[in-house]
Amino acid sequence: MYTIVTGACGFIGANLVKALNERGETNIIAVDNLSRADKFKNLVDCEIIDYIDKQDFLDLVMAGHFDGAVEAVLHEGACSDTMESDGRYMMANNYRYSLSLLDFCTEQEIPFLYASSASVYGGGSVFMESREFEAPLNVYGYSKFLFDQVVRRRSNDFSSQVAGFRYFNVYGPREQHKGRMASVAFHFFNQFQAEGRVKLFEGCDGYENGEQRRDFVSVADVVKVNMFFLDHPERSGIYNLGTGRAQSFNDVAVATINACRAKKGEASLSLAQLRAQGMIEYVAFPEALRGKYQSFTQADLSHLRSVGYYAEFATVEEGVFDYVGHMVNALDAS
């Protein structure tokens, strides 16, 4: 029996493959699109039984090749570029592809864990898994929103697990291939290494410089929640996956810089000190993002807690410190 991970060469997918390996699972089929070949590096330290291109995989599924041979599907594959303007591509890749896998898994009664997104909430201020709070600002968010609606409408017909996770702002190892869509912690670290400073957006939507707030969640916590649901196939539904606390971009910048300083044996500095020494700067808010930007997100974890997930989530200070240590080690090894 196989465990299927789609988007397996990507950020969250590769971390899930590694976590499955750590549980002794190696009978994993990695599904992805390697048109950007550098993503293969995310699986170099992982054990899989096969790699299949995402379209070839769907063709094999439709042909019945995997009937009776799959233990679970972790569907992380998607176009995650919130600035993507090709709606036809986004809907085919994120919505239609997901529908095909959902049909396969429910027909075969296979657990289906999939990636949704906090982008479904748009510019709202309430982040609860309920239709009245959902109004995506871009076609990426809409593709995720639309699939969630299908899951809701069909949920009473499912006889096997279907669980979707609305990821908030995830950061951590194995995201280096994502370019501009990588986390702010990743970008801040690389800016600080190159220039000795980091750049944040000036204030917008009533927030002061760098004080826009997001729910930043470590990929290590994202993996733990996915593994919890794999271990509890009786739990289905759509769940927020964040920390339940909003922290500012300034917080991420301070945590990143101080983690870098700690690695050099240097003392931590406050936000005011970092500003005064020119280590934190602010740049004009991009016009292209106006009206499409979430200045505040904070996961309501009530639903997740109600099904028995009680573990604590890392703060920005804790998670970024660990992540910076990983990136420093990677630089030292290169």
Residue that is written with structure tokens 């700067």 in the block: 281
Among this protein's residues, is 140 annotated catalytic? Answer: yes
Q: Tokens in use for 21?
A: 């390996």
Residue 177, C-beta contacts closer than 8 angstroms, at least 6 positions apart? 10, 11, 36, 38, 39, 41, 42
Crossing angle of helices 184-195 and 316-333, in 10° steps, is 50
Radius of gyration of the chain (CA): 20
In whole angstroms, give the CA distance from residue 274 to residue 258: 10
**Strand pairing of 247-248 and 213-214?**
antiparallel
Q: How far is CA 163 from the centre of its chain?
A: 15
CB 193 within 8 A of CB 260: yes
- DSSP class of 48: -
Residue that is written with structure tokens 């969250």 in the block: 12
Catalytic site residue from 18, 178, 224, 263: 178
Q: What DSSP string runs through 282-310?
A: EEPPPGGGTTS--SB-----HHHHHTT--
Q: What DSSP string runs through 184-209?
A: HHHHHHHHHHHHS-EEEEPP-TTPPT
Catalytic site residue from 97, 140, 171, 239: 140
Which helix (H) or strand (E) is 108 found in, with range? helix 97-108
Cβ atoms within 10 Å, residue 196: 12
Cβ atoms within 10 Å, residue 1: 9
Q: Active-site residues: which are they?
A: 140, 178
